[in-house]
Chains A and B, each alone.
Chain A
Amino acid sequence: MSGVVTRSAAGPSVEGSFTALRTQLQDAAATFAEGPDALGEILLGIVDDVDRAVREPLEIFPVCHHSPASALAMARRLREKQPKVVYLELCEDMAPLLTELRNCTLPVAVQAFAAEIEGFPAEWAPLSVVAPITEASAEYQAIAYALETPGVELVLVDRSSDHVFQWEPRDTAAPEAPADPDAPPVEEEAALHGDAVGVEIGDLRPRFAQLEEHLLRHGRVRHWSEWWHQYVELPLGDKDSDYATYRQVMLLIGSLFRRLAPGDARRVQVDEDRERYMWTRMREHLAATGTDPADCLYVCGAFHAASRVDEFGVDGTDGFAISPPGGTKWQYGLIPSSHAAIEAQFGLAAGSVSIAATVWQKNLKRNGVAPYRLVGQGAAKKTAAAAKKAVAKKTAQIPAQAPAPAPDDAADKLTGFLQRPPVIDRLDEAELLGWSVDIVRAARRNGYLASTADAIAVFETSILLAGMRDRARPTPYDFQDAAVTCIEKDAVPGRRDVRRLVEIMMGGDRVGKVGYDALPPLARNVHDRLAPLGLKLEQRGVQRALMDIAGRPELAACSDVLWMLRYLMPHGAARPIMGERRLGERSIQESWDLALGTHQRALIELGYEGVSVEQVLEQRLRRAAYGPKATAASVLEGVEDATLYLGSRRLADELGLRALELLAAERTVDGAPEVLRRVRRLLAYYRTSEPTLPGWIESFVKTAYAHYCTLLPTAFTDDDATVRQVAAMLGFLFSMESLALSLGCDRTQLELAVAQSHPEDPSKLALLWAAQLHLGRLTRAALRARCDELLGNPLVLPAYPRYLSGFVQALEPVPGLSDFVVEAVSNAFGRLPDRVLLPWLPTLITTLRADGAELAPLLVREAGRVFPGRLADLDAWIAPWRAGEPAQVPAAARRGKAGGVGLALLAAHPATCDAVADLLGCEGTWADPGAASADGLALVGRHPATAQAVAALLGR
């Protein structure tokens, strides 16, 4: 505090201009706090801050983000003062990009991006900082003025992007997102910035929740944006408010929030360090160029304008050492932004940035101020022309735009402002009527049953609501409430509710666009190469590209680019509808859904990785292949991709060698199925399209043959290795055998490996049998006998289905086994009891569906061959594997052989049976022995022992 006093005393000689205000505040503090202690100190401190900032020889221009009032005051002040140097609170390393704003439609964001980082925790990568710029902002006015006026220098003075992260504490991971459980899902437009860290000029908001809550409660508003709009924006954006008042009020608010912000010491530290940084940079620049501070303007957030660090001011101390940037390589670019993205990133109320944009346009019209605008900007050319006209008119009025003398800033404007009653804006009936009619029209278009009566009700309710909230003129927020009250019923008929409709009506979300010239080389290159498609790819939305490659061979190059984009960009940016790209195949016609405009940010960020898509793709493939998670299978996929998308034999060979290296080092067989699939595919491709096989694939087959032979015995017994994986190993060994042997492998290695395998798991055992069959160590008859034995043994019966699973998997290495598998499955259906069979059926189906998608057709084909095709053939059909068995004796014939001895005996001595029947309560009658069922007879014939014993007992 003492420093403050010293410096303010050293300032220009308008000493004491705030004396009256000071006395008044002191009295107030004494009255309310019953003593001039804490409250008095805060209040007087605020005045001191304002006083000091106002007296600073280097003119400080305090701003607030997305404040049309700031932008308006800035435009006015720049026209008046015409400064030669503008210092701006923005990351200094972003400076070269600002000229590129000319080619963009705002809002866009300046981005600093680093994929490869040095000196930061690895989990922070990639680092990304964005600074969104909207048209209705003071910083844009400053940038446009500086870039469009010859001889004016724009100097960015805030810490660099590298320092943003240098000053982050290391213990927290990425900056946390606000976690609001009630928050609606993020819309596409709101996610435009990705997960970048946002930096913004003029972040001005109470730093502690109680103050904000208090302000909102007493301001009778719902959120911060509304408070700002009503209590700062409206009075300051007024025609009558002058620059000095604007400056002092902004300083006052900045100082207030600063002084009432206890808590987070780290945040305060970062803020103060930034202030030291900025002032140090400014003094360096002033010293280097010898510019007179009076010719400069320093644009910074009001929060920083009320700084109390020792480095503050042209005459501040030079004690702050700026640390050098780390080794991280930063890339810079412009990415499209949107109002919704800005609101989401900086925690503003939905629609507030759009409303600010609308207010800005209205303020311009009302106050006749000509804004600055970068020449050549795509958006709002019309307004630019209008602005030019206005400027012309203005210059006519003010013949000589000599630098205006410093305003009588130090004079106290605050007292007047603070004592003035709230600005009562007069009711703009025409505007409100327009809104009411428009919202009803919009509601009707969106399915609401709204009518003119609703327009009247909305109009009336808006005025009543504004009246209740102490304002004569309804704000957009009052209007929104009124519209919701009158039009919204119990259900939302369409996609958007009334609240959203009002937001859209009030300007809606505006999405920026980065123009062609401001794009990184890669993105420009992509657009150039896709030009033959004849589509406006820079536009947002999905566009359909139809390509007849056979008819127009030049489109083949476009197709190549699109396939690469599909590989590199997020889903939806380039989506093939028709046509596919597989090894050895090329489509003659393709159709694509392209949304490059919508995914512009992704394309631009791709541009940070390289200068062409080919380069980026190659880098990514190589990075994946050498990354810690790479496996032989994943690298083989990379080989395939390199061949498919890049057509690069060089890269494919390099990656192939890498796969070989990885395979040799692998100790598990997890990737075996994938490796088998990919190697088969690559082999088939090379055999058909190349004169000789590449060297790497030959070595790969050789190495893999030996590798899998070595691992086979352990894989058979290892519980972690699944049947499918073992089957894939065997598949590799059997199907690549001829190639491997021709390259010098030894078959005994395989035979030994199989001989050493002693699995216990039934499914793996079945797999081993199949392998033995393939190697000729087991005959089909022996295998069949083993299966019969299993089915005949009630103890192993429950495990039989698992043998079958093994056999099904064995189709992969031994496809010739399919007839046997059909036989085994049929036998299982025929002989397994239901309690074993039924629980297993779902397992069989899921196994076939998940693992054996390619095996199932094989089985079905075989079954079609074995089983009769027509119902009539079924009677005479005998399963081929039972063709050799003796035919079954018909039951009737068997029956004939049995004699009627037992039956006669029973009929002769019915007493026993009658007694048993009586005992059991059965009231049967004796049937004629001649007509008796023969079944019982046969049974007695087959098991005569009982009857004989009874006969002996009866003494016959």
Chain B
Amino acid sequence: MSDLLRAPAEIKYAEELDWLESVDDAPKPFAWRLSPKMIRLFVLGSEPSDGLDREIPQKWFGDRSIVERAVVTLASDRGLLLIGDPGTGKSWLAELLAAAISRNSTLVVQGTAGTTEDHIKYSWNVSMVIAKGQSRESMIPSPIMTAMEGGAIGRFEELTRSTSDVQDALISILSEKYISVPELDSDNIVFAKPGFSIIATANSRDRGVNDLSSALKRRFNFVRIPVVTNRKSESEIVRFRTEELLRRHQIELDVPPTLLDVLLQSFADLRAAAASAGSDDEKLESALSTAEQIGVLEDAILHSNFFGDRALTAGTLAASLVGSLTRREPEDLAIINKYLHGVVEPRSKDEGGAWPEFLEGGRNAIASMS
């Protein structure tokens, strides 16, 4: 495909996007490359009833109305803020939307405690300023400014990690849609072209760290991405991401559906246990998110590919689960041990299947760790 470790969505799905663009005859807002309906189709996949000649796979799993609301927001005057728990696919959705709308999802500012206003607006190439003075040439535009100039979608990851004064630099960008450069005497305003908008993501666990000012809140539409609790969609997500991973590592390995079920079931059990736990000591430190499940599976796949006999087994999966979820000793280990003995052991007796091997693998992993 490409020689990139991880290609951005517009490169990865370039051919699909090209094709969609070629068949898309619906009206497009601004300079969008696809119409809103096609974007929805690109993100959520096609149905036979859509009447397309080829099948478009689903790329983001979640409620359709979320995607619709997100797309519509980008077509309106406001920025889009995707908010949700870690591991719910906010950034992935943002990347897909940016790729579909402007074919560029890399205009990203990463919000951190060290993000400054320069990262959002522009900075200067000091040596050029010394050599030639301040000019448009010696200016380094931020990704957001680049997006404005190109009428593209700019992305701001983890908006709430950056400090409030930095966040507020977005207010004028979102309302006036220009950035003025007072250092320059002429040509000192950078106007946004039609099509420019911002997709920001924020972690709902970070609430209260750097709260958004109400002025900024007004300029964003909030779309909350819920945690996936539905077993079916979760298995779809895990399968989708794993396939992608296998492709990326060029591994030819089969993930048996029974093992996927074992993984999903064990996470569901551990979540139930965490929900009923009384204190933090009785809970795993891990949040047990879908992303974590993918991590466990990835670990197991890589292990069996490089150290095993190129087939994923329940034992490897159990070892990977124990390894990934044990962060504190002995608390986490004790919880997993309790889970293996209290839940997996009776189940392996009752149901059989992959469970006995899973139990064995888990026990061995715990034995080697403690």
Contact = CB atoms under 8 A, between A and B. Distances in A.
B72 interface: yes
B102 to A, nearest CB: 18
Top 4 nearest A-B pairs (CB, nearest first) are A464-B72, A485-B69, A485-B221, A489-B222
A379 interface: no
Interface in A450-486: 451, 453-454, 457, 460-461, 464-465, 467-469, 481-482, 484-486
A485 B73 contact: yes
B83 A468 contact: no
Contacts of A464: 36, 72, 75-76
B40 interface: yes
A457 B217 CA distance: 14
Interface residues of B, number: 29
Given A217-B47, A218-B47, A465 B204 contact: no
9 contacts: A218-B49, A220-B64, A449-B217, A449-B218, A457-B77, A469-B68, A481-B68, A485-B73, A485-B222
A464 B64 CA distance: 15
Given A182-B229, A485-B223, A490 B207 contact: yes
Contacts of A482: 69, 72
B71 interface: yes
The secondary structure that dominates the A interface is: helix
Main secondary structure of the interface of B (DSSP, over half): helix
B231 interface: no
Contact of B217 (A467, A468, A489): A489
Contact of A453 (B204, B214, B218): B218
A764 B21 CA distance: 91
B68 A468 contact: yes
B54 interface: no
A218 B229 CA distance: 23
Contacts of B224: 488
A457 B47 CA distance: 31
B37 interface: yes
B65 interface: yes
B212 interface: yes
Interface in A138-167: none
Nearest to B220: A489
Contacts of A467: 36
Contacts of B68: 465, 468-469, 481
A468 B76 contact: no
Nearest to A469: B68
Given A489-B222, A490-B222, A457 B76 contact: yes
Contacts of B49: 218
A461 B47 contact: no
A333 B202 CA distance: 55
B47 A468 contact: no
Interface residues of A, number: 26
B63 to A, nearest CB: 8
B177 interface: no
A222 interface: yes
A792 B205 CA distance: 64
Contacts of A449: 214, 217-218
B72 A461 contact: yes
A564 B71 CA distance: 61
A486 B40 contact: no
Nearest to B27: A467
B111 to A, nearest CB: 15
Interface string B335-361: 000000000000000000000000000
A182 B214 CA distance: 31
A461 B73 contact: yes
Given A465-B69, A468-B40, A488 B76 contact: no
Contacts of A485: 69, 72-73, 221-223
Interface string B14-51: 00000000000000000000001100100000010100
B366 to A, nearest CB: 31
Nearest to B67: A468
Contacts of B47: 217-218
Contacts of A489: 217, 222
Interface in B187-245: 202, 204, 207, 212, 214, 217-218, 221-224, 229
Contacts of B75: 464
Contacts of A461: 69, 72-73, 76, 221
